Structure 1
Amino acid sequence: MHIDRWIRGPIGMDADLRVTRRDCRKILVVVPTVAAGTRLLELLALLEGDLRAQVLFSVPQSANSWPDSAEFVRRLGGLAIPWGQALEHRFDLVLAASYTELAAVRGRVLVVPHGASSLMSRRFSRSGGPSALPHMGLARETLTHRGRLIPSVIALTHDREMTALRRSCPEAVPRALVAGDICMDRLTTSLPHRESYRQALGIGPDQRLVTVSSTWSADSVFGRHPLLCKELLARLPKSEYRVALILHPSAWAVHSPWQIKAWLADCARAGLLVIPPDQGWQAATIASDVVLGDHGSTTQYAAALGTPVLLAAYPEHAVRKGSLAAAVAARAPRFDVDAPVVAQIVHALDLPAFRDAAVAEMISSRHGESASLLRRAMYDLLGLMEPAEQPVVPPAVVPRPLRW
């Protein structure tokens, strides 16, 4: 469902007659997917309290936009404008975590990755079809349109991404900024709140939380092993273990929340903690004792935090060598769905954590600096002086599992 009706808001003809705050810089947040939208909320938090800025949201009318994006924006309570109206206005700043329809937008564009790293873990683009060639991401055909560079600032998470960009699209290098990973910084900031997250999830002091982390596609954990949560609930002693599921927002979008809930209804009644697609995954990851994951970003963040990871699905043929997913796979044992579950979980708990190992270092080369670097870039594009106060990365919100 798209937002179709043009709004009488702070942009357009006679806007000065309608607004209460005049002369605000106008910021457009482009939300083609919930995954992109949730990442951009991390940036918007850096603008809170600034009376000089007005934020508007819009969902591109594109085949690459997901059906739940408009509902996500509505739940935020933000000012949503139809895509056609957004294209008629020039914005002071455009925030994006995807390149969907960005070439049509007018304004200075800041792009951040919507997951861990700007470089793809998959060897092939999902939209490329059977004739697609392998690529790392940051491709010229994505960054440019008819010879014009689309972003004003390309926020990279790691120095090695700058090296890749220099090879793939050298003319974009002057617009690239290695800003670290604001999501990783938020996870790190949230670590002291682990016990409060566990209490919110109902995890007892003597219980272990086993979290299934699934990206989307048929190669994901949920795609390959849809009964895994049910089997864990049946085979793990309830007095000692709880089970949670973090399912990628795009899986919810493709199949619909109704269908996902219908599929998981028996598991939920048996005690499965189902984390909503738009919030709570960060806190649930921190609260976890073991993560059963795949090649998705959530699994990579869990590994970077030092949480024991077991790979319940890993499409080796589809994962790019040298990627974050490959780095996790080189360190994480495989989970055998046919073998005794408890023994594998206990073995994973006994493995030494690798929080300070290569995964964390591959995710960001500016640990703890992302908020400062990204806020400075946004205010430079807006043409405004930064606030004097240091930017604060708030801890992850308390997880609230879905209720049936």
Structure 2
Amino acid sequence: MDGQTWVRAPIGMGAAERVTVAGCRPVLVMVPTMTAGTRLAEVVPLVEADHRIQPVYTVPGSTERWHGLEEYVRSLGAMVLPWEQAKRESYDLVLTASHREIEQVRGKVMVLSHGVGNAKSRRYSRKAGGATRGTTGLDREVLTYRGRVIPAALMLSHDKELALLRKRCPEAHGAAVVAGDICLDRMVASRRYREGYRMALGVSEDECLVTISSTWGPESTFGQHLELYQRLSAQGCRVVAQLHPNIVAAHGSGAVLGWLGDSIRAGLRVLPPDRGWQAAVIASDVVIGDHGSCTMYAAASGTPTVVATEPPALWPGSPADVLVRNAPRLDHGRELWSQLRKVMAEHEGPDVELATAITARPGQAAAITRSTMYRLLGLPEPARALPANVVPVPWTS
């Protein structure tokens, strides 16, 4: 994307001469990572059918970006503005699931989390390189710029986050909205389509489907136990790999698929990094994972779940802490399949404690988020029903 070549956009100077639908409120969607993009893909449909609204996208950053990110954003069919152009315009609403570059845009900024919660599960930021002070996504340093609170709306999943915000950045309290977790809501609502998801993955009634979930970084399933994919694929069960988008973004799909080559030849199916994982988790008989969001959503939505890694230092009481405390641990020195059979046989349903730690507004996230978006836009909320919130049918590479 050439930062010097600007797009003939439906906003900005001369837009009135180009547009067919006039008078739209411009909404900027900031996608600094694929993970943020996939969360925003759950939120943008809440307003995209409204002919009063014109969404445009941008990939923030002038000098450094994740590999493959621009191709992902363009695959959405979106109007994509170069970052330098996007910074020059004003917007009625800015949607972001990250704190990156939010001080550089002009408009009412709505900040969402890009995974489970805003408070973060890791006690220490991996970006700080040997950090000694615990950080959260609700700290003053990420929510303010030169004394100004940046978000006009800070979407929280839980009242506990509101209490934490009062301690870490009390001046942002007025922007906070406790909305719940839209991803968990969608997964819970989609469980009734489980058999359809299994059919889409080619899993028969008498087959067992295992999803191996991995966040990114050395403490992840992929980082600690790459051999697990081969071990399970050789056991005769159907195995699907859910990989955090940053794994592919940091290493390249060619390297990642090469490392998994033997497992793929043994039957492993790898989900695209931007879609399909929610449905695969619902379709699975058991999920093996780490401290990442996918594993938490699996356990909270009702799929038998096993933790396969030693997690990093976690915030006590965080959703990830609840997960690793409640979920059974995989013993890599023992035969795998007998352990998984035991977990499935003893499974009693969703981890209620974990689900309660993830969201304080179960089933309400879409409605609260849409109402907040229209409040910021200064438009009356449409009478039309919320769009269907079931997760899409998975597909694999």
TM-score (norm 2): 0.97
Match of 1:323 among 318, 321, 329: 318
Distance 2:385 2:172 in 1: 29
Correspondences of 1:2-401 after superposition (within 5 Å): 5-61=5-61, 65-234=65-234, 236=235, 238=236, 241-316=237-312, 318-355=313-350, 357-401=352-396
- Can you list the C-alpha shifts for 1:16-36, whole angstroms capped at 9, x where unaligned? 001111110000000000000
CA distance in 2 between counterparts of 1:232 and 1:395 reads 29
Alpha-carbon distance in 1 for matches of 2:95, 2:132: 28
User: CA–CA distance in 2 between the matches of 1:253 and 1:4?
Assistant: 25
CA shift in 2, pair 1:79/1:322, >3 Å: same
- Quote the Cα distance in structure 1 between the aligned partners of 2:195 and 2:185: 19
Instruction: Name the amino acid aligned to 1:68.
Output: G
Structure 2 regions of 5+ residues with no counterpart?
none
Distance 1:367 1:131 in 2: 34
Take 1:378 and 1:265, find their aligned partners in 2: how far apart are those partners? Answer: 44
Where 1:127 maps in the other structure, the secondary structure is helix
Contact 1:32 1:64 in 2 (8 A): no
Report deviation, 1:82: 0.4
How many aligned positions are there? 397
Following superposition, the deviation at residue 197 of structure 1 comes to: 0.5
Write the letter of the residue equivalent to 1:142: V
How far off is 1:259 after superposition?
Answer: 1.5
State the 1:2 CA deviation.
6.5
Would you say the 8 A contact 1:2–1:59 is kept in 2? no
Cα RMSD (Å): 1.4
Could you say if the C-alpha distance between residues 400 and 356 of structure 1 is closer, same or farther in structure 2, counting changes exceeding 3 Å?
same
One-letter amino acid of the counterpart of residue 381, structure 1: L
Q: 1:130 offset after TM fit, Å?
A: 1.7
- CA deviations over 1:158-196 (Å, ceiling 9, x no partner): 111001001111111111000011111111111111001
Residue 354 of structure 1: CA displacement? 4.3
The offset of 1:213, in angstroms, is 0.3
Write the deviation string for residues 324-374 of structure 1: whole angstroms up to 9, x where unpaired: 111011111111122111110111111233415200111111111111100
Contact 1:116 1:363 in 2 (8 A): yes
CA distance in 1, matches of 2:349, 2:160: 21
User: How much does 1:266 deviate?
Assistant: 2.2
Q: Call closer, same or farther: CA 1:65–1:143 in 2, change over 3 Å.
A: farther
Letter of the 1:144 partner, please give it.
T
How big is each residue's C-alpha offset from its partner over 1:255-291, in whole Å with a ceiling of 9 and x where there is no partner? Answer: 1112112222222221101111000011001011111
CA distance in 2, matches of 1:2, 1:119: 35
Distance 1:64 1:116 in 2: 26
1:168 partner letter: R
C-alpha separation in 1, matches of 2:131 and 2:192: 47
> 1:109-141 CA distances to partner (integer Å, 9 max, x unpaired)?
001100011111111112112244112330010
Q: Residues 326 and 67 (structure 1 numbering): CA distance in 2 closer, same or farther, change over 3 Å? A: same
- Code of the residue aligned with 1:363 in structure 2: it is I
State the alpha-carbon separation in 1 of the partners of residues 4 and 195 from structure 2.
44
C-alpha distance in 2 between matches for 1:305 and 1:273: 22
The SS at the match of 1:348 is helix
* Distance of 1:351 and 1:97 partners within structure 2: 37
- Contact persistence 1:280–1:400 (CA under 8 A): yes
CA contact (8 A) 1:64 1:100 kept: no
Cα distance in 1, alignment partners of residues 71 and 273 from structure 2: 12
Distance in 2 of aligned mates of 1:253 and 1:150: 28
1:43-92 Cα distance to aligned partner (Å, 9 max, x none): 11101321111110000115774222211111111000000000000111
Structure 2 distance, partners of 1:194, 1:63, is 43
- Which amino acid letter does the alignment assign opposite residue 110 of structure 1? M
Counterpart code for 1:302 = A
- Give the conservation status (yes or no) of the 8 Å contact 1:216–1:248: yes
Q: Please give the alpha-carbon distance, in whole angstroms, between the structure 2 residues aligned to 1:18 and 1:373.
A: 34
Unmatched tracts of structure 1, length 5 or more: none
CA contact 2:121–2:314 (8 Å) conserved in 1: yes
Contact 2:221/2:289 (CA < 8 Å) preserved in 1?
yes
Q: TM-score, normalised by structure 1?
A: 0.95
Identity of aligned residues (%): 47
